């Protein structure tokens, strides 16, 4: 496969999860691999602005506030109010550990990292900044996304943030408006409300997170409102007016909201505008995303694209799998996309949401005879012990074959709990059955025991 005309067999643009997955898989497959990274450290948006720092902050918020609400500490007279800077203090050390670990992967597999903005010169050549020209037989574009910034919004104002800059918020505001109720907006609305901040969550759609199961959506909406979040559906921005003492959001419905700060969480833009696509036949759409086929190939078969830059599902977990799938395809070791249609959602609100498979709405539209098994977390001993009684596990299964069709979870540790159902759902033939959960002994007390409770609840509905 190696050709003397090329510096590399594969050159990867971006070192986030998608780029890393592709680079490591190809290197282990014996290819000469190089990568480009424009930021000062590797890891991409996942490590520096998205998944890792936001989840680290979420953990700091939830664990700290839970401790401060502990009756024992209250009785001892402990009554403090941590600042945002204090809550974020541990985040940089976690990012540092991630960077160090991931750099060791590149070093160990002899994959050099070229620093700078990478641009295509022709179909087999890229230039890193204004320096070296690099020729490669294959490419993987894994440049990720950034928050979309609409014209007319002053993001340089100290009271206006997007999902990247909000991590630099040092003082805890008394109130915040989150514009955009997708995954990022909903997660941050939940996090800020946990801190006791007054939250307006403005949604341009009629429901929160419409891709989820309706019952989970209802549970999330109820829980957010129960915590005190004001949710405003079917609204769109008319103007944003930042002032010295707050930010005024005027909606097209005529409503006006004023809060200390505003978080813009409405949309992402692919990082393709400075990629030199004008020099090759690949075009990005209006959101900067690149179209690919089932094998993650662009219109040029030797150039692949993976991760957030290709659009949904925009998950770090999916990006890594996509990167590996692209590398395996170009290696010729796999002609498939590594179960990319079996990707669980992981939404880190408080509490978490996770799901895999189809939801009730989809099954009903497909006229599939299904039944529902539920376990309320408040009935689980482990949840009672830990005080995490909000939530539920929901199993959807075929009422004739008992095949598990979907698993939906809302509550503490949902993103971990979901993988048990995912594993059984993907067993071949008759091995995918709800009977597994009825016949299997689960540790007690555990959250995983919810599978047995939900399975028995569902089977008892059959006749």
- At residue 156, the 3 state secondary structure works out as coil
Instruction: Say if residue 181 carries a ligand binding annotation.
Output: yes
Instruction: Say if residue 23 carries a ligand binding annotation.
Output: no
The per-residue DSSP string of 389-457 comes to: --EEEEEEEETTT--EEEEEEEETTHHHHHHHHHHHHTS-GGGS-THHHHHSPPPSS-STTHHHHHHHH
Label residue 362 left, alpha or beta by phi (over 0 means left) and psi (-120 to 50 means alpha).
Answer: alpha
- Nearest 10 degrees: Cα torsion 214, 220, 222, 224: -150
Instruction: Say if residue 90 carries a ligand binding annotation.
Output: no
Instruction: Say if residue 55 carries a ligand binding annotation.
Output: yes
Instruction: Say if residue 184 carries a ligand binding annotation.
Output: yes
Instruction: Say if residue 185 carries a ligand binding annotation.
Output: yes
Task: Note whether 209 and 295 are within 8 A (CB).
Answer: no
Instruction: Say if residue 308 carries a ligand binding annotation.
Output: yes
Closest C-alpha to 438, from 427, 448, 453:
453
Instruction: Say if residue 323 carries a ligand binding annotation.
Output: no
Cβ neighbors of 152 (< 8 A, separation 6 or more) are 239, 240
Instruction: Say if residue 218 carries a ligand binding annotation.
Output: no
Question: Burial, 463: exposed, middle or buried (Cβ in 10 Å; 0-12, 13-18, 19+)?
Answer: exposed
Rounded to whole angstroms, the Cα distance separating 14 from 35 reads 7
Instruction: Say if residue 267 carries a ligand binding annotation.
Output: yes
CB atoms under 10 Å from CB of 184, counted, come to 24
Rounded to whole angstroms, the Cα distance separating 269 from 277 reads 16
Rounded to whole angstroms, the Cα distance separating 13 from 38 reads 9
Instruction: Say if residue 182 carries a ligand binding annotation.
Output: yes
Task: Note whether 160 and 166 are within 8 A (CB).
Answer: no
- Which residue ranges make up the annotated binding site for NAD(+)? 180-187, 267
- Which residue ranges make up the annotated binding site? 55, 180-187, 267, 308
- Which residue ranges make up the annotated binding site for FAD? 55, 308
């Amino acid at each position: 496969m190696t050709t003397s005309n090329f510096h590399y067999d594969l050159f990867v643009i971006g070192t986030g999860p998608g780029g890393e997955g592709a680079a490591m898989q190809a290197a282990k497959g014996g290819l000469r691999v190089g990568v480009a990274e424009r930021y000062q450290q590797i890891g991409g948006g996942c490590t520096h602005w998205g998944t890792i720092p936001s989840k680290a902050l979420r953990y700091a918020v939830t664990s700290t506030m839970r401790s401060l609400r502990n009756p024992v500490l209250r009785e001892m007279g402990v009554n403090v109010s941590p600042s945002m800077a204090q809550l974020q203090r541990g985040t940089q050390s976690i990012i540092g550990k991630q960077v160090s670990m991931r750099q060791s992967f590149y070093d160990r597999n002899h994959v050099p990292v070229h620093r700078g903005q990478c641009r295509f010169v022709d179909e087999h050549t890229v230039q890193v900044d204004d320096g070296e020209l690099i020729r490669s037989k294959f490419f993987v574009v894994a440049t990720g996304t950034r928050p979309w910034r609409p014209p007319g919004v002053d993001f340089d104002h100290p009271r206006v943030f997007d999902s990247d800059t909000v991590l630099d918020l040092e003082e805890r505001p008394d109130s915040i408006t989150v514009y955009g109720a997708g995954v990022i907006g909903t997660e941050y609305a939940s996090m800020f409300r946990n801190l006791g901040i007054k939250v307006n969550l403005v949604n341009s759609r009629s429901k929160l997170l419409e891709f989820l199961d309706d019952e989970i959506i209802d549970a999330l909406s109820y829980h957010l409102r129960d915590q005190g979040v004001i949710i405003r559906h079917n609204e769109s921005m008319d103007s944003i007016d930042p002032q010295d003492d707050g930010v005024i959001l005027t909606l097209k419905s005529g409503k006006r909201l004023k809060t200390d700060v505003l978080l813009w969480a409405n949309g992402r833009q692919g990082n393709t505008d400075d990629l030199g696509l004008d020099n090759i036949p690949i075009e990005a759409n209006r959101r900067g995303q690149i179209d690919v086929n089932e094998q993650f190939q662009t219109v040029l078969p030797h150039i692949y694209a993976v991760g957030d830059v290709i659009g949904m599902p925009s998950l770090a977990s999916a990006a890594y799998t996509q990167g590996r799938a692209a590398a395996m395809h170009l290696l010729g070791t796999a002609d498939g996309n590594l179960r990319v249609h079996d990707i669980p959602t992981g939404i880190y609100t408080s509490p978490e949401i996770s799901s895999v498979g189809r939801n009730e709405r989809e099954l009903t539209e497909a006229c599939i005879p299904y039944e529902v098994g539920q376990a309320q977390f408040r009935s689980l001993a482990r949840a009672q012990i830990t005080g995490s009684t909000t939530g539920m596990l929901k199993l959807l299964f075929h009422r004739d074959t008992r095949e598990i069709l979907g698993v939906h979870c809302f509550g503490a540790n949902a993103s971990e709990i979901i993988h048990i159902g995912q594993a059984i759902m993907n067993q071949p033939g008759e091995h995918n059955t709800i009977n597994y959960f009825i016949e299997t002994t689960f540790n007690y007390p555990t959250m995983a025991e919810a599978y047995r409770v939900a399975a028995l609840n569902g089977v008892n509905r059959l006749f």
